[in-house]
């Protein structure tokens, strides 16, 4: 069975839906699956395929091309060498050996390194270069660091369609070709941004500015539905990538015998009563994608941890390490927690957040069960956070 969908006459979605995938990069949860989009573009003289899907979708891609009676491909455009967009390349080249592979110089190198194409094969697609297809053309736009160094976009000026690979995409398997309910797409797109794009915020901003100069009617990413009203996703990206943060605290904690939980309860309520929104995560049972997307906007992160094996709890260290790698625009950070007889919990958490450009607020660490002094310190921390957040828009 094949599934292809026409975007414009002679331009088809021919990718693979992956309804059942539940984890990406062995890290990011995919509650709604994902898609590996691939696009067939037929000109009067040349036929092109953009992106080669994940290896698991290669059979589907081949069936889709056969269903459209595609007998030859002149070019296969690899916009990004990561295997979820290039895993089907070997199959494609076996079926269409005459096709030339076009990609950035870095993509071509990576394809060889990944064993997906022989070294020295392929042609470099340089920034700004165009290839005529007959009646329409493809223009290549170098877009490094969203999120690999090799990425490029492809633009059809005659159709005002921009193919953006991972950029502006979402992990969402959907029966809709276009985002039909933008509210449904917003959260998957934000989680996708958080997990994939957020560490590269300055590159995101740069590429958004470049896209603004193009006349775009359709954004065609390589994951998730297409956008025929590009304003929503572009505005959302502008917001997420901006320097603005919200009056929110991500409170991520783990507790062994209840002391740290009591402190998290107290601090959470103290913050809410001071008008600060709280996104709370029990690190023994949470969705990593939710935590990541909460970090997109929050002004402050507070990690709560007991002391175990003379240090921070591994689940707290994991969350701190993740936040550190995702590099949110968070401005403030603090630590709350407890200890019985000592340890280096504070140093470990602080070190784990060392890549964040945050101001560390005084931690609150209780010996055993939190007592009056500890609650007073939590009130001071809540006062400080509320006061700092009040100044955010000044
Ligand atoms: Fe969807 Fe960077 O691969």
Query: Is residue 85 a contact partner of residue 36, using CB atoms and an 8 Å limit?
Result: yes
- Residue 343 pLDDT grade (very low, low, confident, very high; cuts 50, 70, 90): confident
Measure 166 CA to ligand 1 centroid, in angstroms: 5
85 within ligand 1 shell (Cβ under 6 A): yes
Quick one: pLDDT at residue 394? Answer: 65
223 within ligand 1 shell (Cβ under 6 A): yes
Residue 12: count of CB within 10 angstroms of its CB:
22
374 within ligand 1 shell (Cβ under 6 A): no
80 within ligand 1 shell (Cβ under 6 A): yes
51 within ligand 1 shell (Cβ under 6 A): no
Domains, the chain, with CATH or none: 5-241 (3.60.15.10), 246-388 (3.40.50.360)
Quick one: pLDDT at residue 184? Answer: 80
Measure 332 CA to ligand 1 centroid, in angstroms: 31
In tens, the pLDDT along 371-384 reads: 999 999 999 999 99
Quick one: pLDDT at residue 75? Answer: 98
**Minimum CA distance residue for ligand 1 atom 2:** 82
Measure 86 CA to ligand 1 centroid, in angstroms: 9
Measure 133 CA to ligand 1 centroid, in angstroms: 27
**Minimum CA distance residue for ligand 1 atom 3:** 82
Please state at what angle helix 182-192 crosses helix 231-241, rounded to 10 degrees: 40
pLDDT greater than 80 at residue 362: yes
- Burial of residue 202 (CB within 10 Å: 0-12, 13-18, 19+) is exposed
In tens, the pLDDT along 1-39 reads: 899 999 999 999 999 999 999 999 999 999 999 999 999
- Residue 120 pLDDT grade (very low, low, confident, very high; cuts 50, 70, 90): confident
Measure 115 CA to ligand 1 centroid, in angstroms: 17
- Residue 340 pLDDT grade (very low, low, confident, very high; cuts 50, 70, 90): confident
Query: Is residue 298 a contact partner of residue 329, using CB atoms and an 8 Å limit?
Result: no
**Minimum CA distance residue for ligand 1 atom 1:** 166
Question: Hey, CA dihedral for 225, 229, 230, 232, is it positive or negative?
Answer: negative
Contacts of 102 (CB under 8 A, 6+ apart): 75, 76, 77, 78, 122, 123, 124, 125, 131, 140
In tens, the pLDDT along 218-234 reads: 999 999 999 999 999 99
The predicted model gives 184-200 an average pLDDT of 95
State the pTM of this model.
Answer: 0.96
The predicted model gives 43-64 an average pLDDT of 98
Query: Is residue 84 a contact partner of residue 61, using CB atoms and an 8 Å limit?
Result: no
Ligand 1 atom nearest the C-alpha of 166 is 1
pLDDT greater than 90 at residue 325: yes
pLDDT greater than 80 at residue 393: no
Quick one: pLDDT at residue 346? Answer: 95
pLDDT greater than 70 at residue 153: yes
Ligand 1 atom nearest the C-alpha of 148 is 2
Measure 81 CA to ligand 1 centroid, in angstroms: 8
Mean pLDDT of the chain: 96
Give me the phi and psi of 41, to 5 degrees please: -125, 120
Quick one: pLDDT at residue 341? Answer: 82
Largest CA distance in the chain: 79
State percent of the chain over pLDDT 70: 100
- Residue 213 pLDDT grade (very low, low, confident, very high; cuts 50, 70, 90): very high
């Amino acid at each position: 069975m094949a599934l292809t969908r026409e975007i414009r006459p002679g331009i088809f979605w021919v990718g693979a839906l992956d309804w059942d995938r539940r984890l990406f990069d062995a890290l990011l949860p995919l509650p709604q699956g994902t898609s590996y989009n691939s696009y067939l573009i037929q000109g009067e003289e040349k036929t092109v395929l953009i992106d080669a899907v994940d290896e698991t979708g290669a059979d589907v891609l081949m069936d889709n091309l056969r269903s459209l009676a595609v007998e030859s491909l002149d070019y296969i455009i690899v916009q990004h060498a990561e295997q979820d967009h290039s895993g089907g390349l070997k199959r494609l080249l076996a079926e269409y050996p005459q096709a030339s592979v076009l990609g950035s110089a870095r993509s071509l190198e990576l394809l060889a390194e990944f064993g997906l194409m022989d070294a020295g094969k392929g042609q470099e697609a340089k920034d700004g270069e165009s290839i005529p297809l007959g009646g329409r053309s493809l223009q290549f736009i170098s877009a490094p660091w969203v999120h690999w160094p090799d990425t490029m976009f492809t633009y059809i000026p005659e159709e005002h369609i921009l193919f953006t690979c991972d950029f502006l995409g979402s992990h969402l398997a959907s029966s809709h070709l276009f985002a039909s309910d933008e509210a449904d797409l917003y959260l998957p797109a934000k989680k996708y941004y958080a997990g994939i794009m957020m560490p590269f915020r300055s590159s995101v901003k740069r590429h958004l500015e470049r896209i603004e100069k193009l006349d775009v009617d359709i954004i065609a990413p390589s994951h998730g539905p297409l956008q025929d009203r590009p304003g929503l996703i572009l505005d959302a990206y502008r917001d997420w990538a901006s320097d603005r943060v919200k009056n929110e605290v991500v409170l991520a904690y783990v507790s062994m015998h209840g002391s740290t939980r009591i402190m998290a309860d107290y601090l959470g309520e103290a913050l809410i009563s001071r008008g600060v929104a709280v996104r709370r995560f029990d690190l023994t049972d949470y969705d990593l994608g939710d935590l990541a997307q909460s970090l997109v906007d929050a002004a402050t992160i507070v990690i709560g941890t007991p002391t175990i094996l003379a240090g921070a709890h591994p689940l707290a260290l994991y969350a701190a390490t993740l936040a550190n790698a995702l590099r949110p625009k968070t401005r403030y950070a603090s630590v709350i927690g407890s200890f019985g007889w000592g340890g280096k919990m504070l140093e470990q958490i602080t070190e784990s957040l060392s890549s964040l450009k945050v101001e560390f607020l005084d931690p609150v660490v209780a010996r055993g069960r939190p007592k009056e002094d500890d609650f007073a310190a939590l009130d001071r921390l809540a006062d400080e956070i509320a006061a700092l957040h009040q100044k955010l828009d000044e």
